Amino acid sequence: MSTVLVLGGAGGIGQVATSALTTADTFDQIRVADLRLEAAQALVDDLADQRLQALSVDADSPGSLASCLDGVDVVLNCVGPFYRFGPPILKAAIEAGVDYVDVCDDLAPTRSMLALDEQAKAKGVRALIGMGNSPGLANIFVKLCADGLLEQVESVDIMHIHGGEPVEGPAVIKHRIHAMLNEIPLYIDGEFITVRQLEPSGQAHVVQTDFRNVGRYPVYPYPHPETITLPAHIPGLQRATNLGVIFPLPYFELTQQMVRTGACSTEPILVDGRPVVPMEFSVAHILSQRARLLAESGIESPGGCLKVVVGGRQDGAEKTFVFQLSSQTAGAGEGTGIPAAAGALLMGRGEIDQRGVFPPEAGVQPLPLLMVAFEMVQALGKGGRDSIRIDMIDADGSVSEMPLPF
């Protein structure tokens, strides 16, 4: 019996990942664990797959985690925010000897989890971190270039946009605020620099970009971990940036405004004699305005686009590949949950054999991952091969569409 455990399986990403896992027969059991048992059970009932089982888990409790991990082959961690839950859940998986996949897109926990590499190797554990959209598919596209499309990969610019999801929870808003408050590493001319999204250092790197099937938007420096993992695994890389934004733009700008005004501190202040945490107020306020801003912008469905521009050389000449994965009906849940499920599936099949803790570009073969992911996309009715486009730009600037290599 092979068993996969989806932690946070009733959340926005976890639900999609669970649904995607049911499209294949790799696992005999699919356990859906969430703090909200009733929500996990509702998902199990809705999917009506006999392999599914709902469990209650408290990610803050080592005992609860250990109990859930008992008898599991692969754990897919969708519990956020990862700066709080990533490292302790990975440690629990390593201690239990369970192979691990997650969707971590935070810098600090990425560094902390990579530091557990030797512990994972000692236990024979395979731990694939950041197997979502960005990071995740973004890394896979770069690896595809490094594996043969280019003789030398020299630059990587990752840009992403999504929005219009049916709901966003407080953890999502806090993650977004976290990105605006903290230092962001960019890899420029073979050296690391740090910027802050809302300060002049970060504003200098804001660019306008056209996203396929979404539109033209400004994108801002984002603290996603590709900028630190790609230079470590792609020899000769001289540039790695990660820029992102949320639509509708007024909704994203509201969050920026709350940060700029200093209303996102975690230190309580007294309001009418009662302690109030500014961060909690700001998150509640942002969420209270979401429906209005979506309606005013005419947003009726989720959507998004991942755009990865990879530059380098082939046969001595400059060449650039532009990957765009876009959807007008699916948002962050699908864009993150499906690649994560594909990673867990390959892990369960034994097609990922790297031991230790590693990002996608260090231990995943691009073509098998992309093929599994698109099989899931089609099975779930979330799109098809037309959702991805690859353009090749030659040294003279001529652009041609490249057939999909899978």
For the chain, how long is the longest CA-to-CA vector?
71
Q: Residue written as tokens 């938007």?
A: 217
Distance CA 335, CA 150 (A): 26
Mean pLDDT value across residues 380-401? 91
Angle at 9 between CA 248 and CA 97, to 5 degrees: 125
pLDDT digits (tens, 9 = 90+) for 123-172: 999 999 999 999 999 999 999 999 999 999 999 999 999 999 888 889 88
Residue 331 has pLDDT above 80, yes or no: no
pLDDT digits (tens, 9 = 90+) for 281-300: 999 999 999 999 999 999 98
Q: What's the CATH superfamily of 137-245+300-331+385-400?
A: Dihydrodipicolinate Reductase; domain 2 (3.30.360.10)
Q: Does domain 3-132+332-379 have CATH number 3.40.50.720?
A: yes
Residue 81 has pLDDT above 90, yes or no: no
Residues of the chain with CATH 3.40.50.720: 3-132+332-379
- The string of DSSP codes covering 322-342 is EEEEEESS--HHHHHHHHHHH
Residues of the chain with CATH 3.30.360.10: 137-245+300-331+385-400
Mean pLDDT value across residues 50-64? 97
> Percentage helix, strand, coil, to 5, in the chain?
40, 30, 30
Q: Residue written as tokens 């690896």?
A: 143
Mean pLDDT value across residues 57-78? 97
pLDDT digits (tens, 9 = 90+) for 13-29: 999 999 999 999 999 99
Residue 220 has φ and ψ, to the nearest 5°, of: -115, 150
pLDDT digits (tens, 9 = 90+) for 181-195: 999 999 999 999 999
Distance CA 33, CA 14 (A): 9
pLDDT digits (tens, 9 = 90+) for 341-377: 999 999 999 999 999 999 999 999 999 999 999 999 9
